[in-house]
Amino acid sequence: MLDDYLKANLANWDEAVSLHVGAEMYDVEGFKKGRCSLSAIEVDELGPSVREGTTLLHLQCHFGLDTLSWARQGATVTGIDFSGEGVATARSLAEELGLSQRATFVQSDVYHLPEVLDGRFDVVFTSWGVLLWLGDLERWAQVIAHFLKPGGVFYIAEFHPYAFLLADDSTRDSLRIGYPYFMHGEPQRFDEPGDYADPEATLRHTVTFEWNHGFAEVIDPLLREGLRLDFLHEFPYTPEGLPFPFLEVCADGLQRVKGHHEDFPLSFSLKMTKER
């Protein structure tokens, strides 16, 4: 079953890559001129762990803008994504920007990565809209632990599990629940023609399968792999676009829940260390 979900999601992502390369949200032209695609959250929190020569593995890297942004900060990076389109685009961007010496891209889903990639890394990084594509966080955590050197750091910046709970017709005065926090393994099926980066687009592969994951489901498997929890942070905003009608973009460019700018968390970050 997991493979069927993966297949549907892959068709959707393969199709989305060319759309995203041209999308305003990803601003590839700006990136080529030197814009960093990372948000202030990752730069502030993980930046100090990334120096010249730091080896960084980026899981679910899409077409590699964030991977290459870490390379520009001196890291030697490996980006992996299950979409061949994503990986091909990432490679040609790296080439064009003269970063291919320090940026490698591998096509693989997270679960099978140990079969196709060798090596251990100082940092394993993943961010923004990755967990919802994963049905098995036990295996995900095992892969992370596998690729970390002793003393290595795992870092994730991601949408908050609460961000996915609210009903589409929620208003500032009535934040109703429309979606689950616990999914008990079974994904939700969505069939939507648009795309988060381009709502006007008409995709051909419109069916996706997505999971919401509670904090325990994310954190506990990593603890069981022996990683030490360094910090968990929550933010009442997100730097990335979520296509929900009860959100608004504020003057600082960050998205918040209408009428709940300070008290409803939309993002979290988590840093953990492999001690042995």
Partner 1 sequence: MTDPIPAEARATNLRLWNAWTRVHEKSAFYDVEGFRAGATSLWPLELEELGPLVHEGTTLLHLQCHFGLDTPSWARRGADVVGLDLSDEAVALARRLADEVGLSRRAEFVCADLYDADAHLGDRLFDIVFVSWGAIEWLPDLERWAGIVARHLTLGGTFYLAEIHPFAGGLDEVPGEHDVRVKYHLLPAPDHPDVEPIEGSYADRSADTTGLVAYGWAHSFAEIIGALTGAGLRVEHLHEFPTSPAPFWDWMVRDEARWWWLPDGEGGLRKDLPLSFSLCATKPAG
Contact between 214 and partner 1 per CB under 8 A = yes
| CA dihedral sign of residues 219, 221, 225, 226 | positive
Contact between 216 and partner 1 per CB under 8 A = yes
**Interacting positions 115-174 with partner 1 (CB under 8 A):** 162, 165-166, 174
**Interacting positions 249-268 with partner 1 (CB under 8 A):** 262-265, 268
* Binding test (CB under 8 A) with partner 1, winner from 32, 51, 169, 182: 182
Q: What is the largest CA-CA distance in the chain?
A: 53
Choice between 35 and 228, CB closer to partner 1: 228
Binding segment toward partner 1, per CB under 8 A, in 1-9, 52-60, 65-73, 215-223: 215-223
Query: In a 10 Å sphere around its CB, with 0-12 CB exposed, 13-18 middle and 19+ buried, how is residue 152 labelled?
Result: buried
SS3 state of residue 275:
coil
Query: CB within 8 A of 36, min separation 6: which ones?
Result: 43, 69, 72
Choice between 96 and 169, CB closer to partner 1: 169
Contact between 51 and partner 1 per CB under 8 A = no
* Binding test (CB under 8 A) with partner 1, winner from 25, 229, 249, 250: 229
Whether the CB-CB separation of 176 and 153 falls below 8 Å is answered with: no
Contact between 180 and partner 1 per CB under 8 A = yes
**Interacting positions 230-249 with partner 1 (CB under 8 A):** 230-234, 236
* Binding test (CB under 8 A) with partner 1, winner from 176, 189, 192, 193: 176
* Binding test (CB under 8 A) with partner 1, winner from 1, 25, 116, 223: 223
Q: How far apart are CA 208 and CA 13, in angstroms?
A: 9
**Interacting positions 27-46 with partner 1 (CB under 8 A):** none
Instruction: Indicate left, alpha or beta for 213 from its phi (over 0: left) and psi (-120 to 50: alpha).
Output: beta
Whether the CB-CB separation of 80 and 61 falls below 8 Å is answered with: yes
Contact between 190 and partner 1 per CB under 8 A = no
Helix 137-147 to helix 215-224 angle (10° resolution) is 40
What's the one-letter identity of residue 163? A
Q: How far is the CB of 19 from partner 1 (least distance, A)?
A: 32
Query: CB within 8 A of 77, min separation 6: which ones?
Result: 55, 56, 57, 58, 67, 68, 70, 71, 102, 103, 104
Q: Which residues bind partner 1 (CB under 8 A)?
A: 162, 165-166, 174-177, 180-184, 214-217, 219-220, 223, 228-234, 236, 262-265, 268
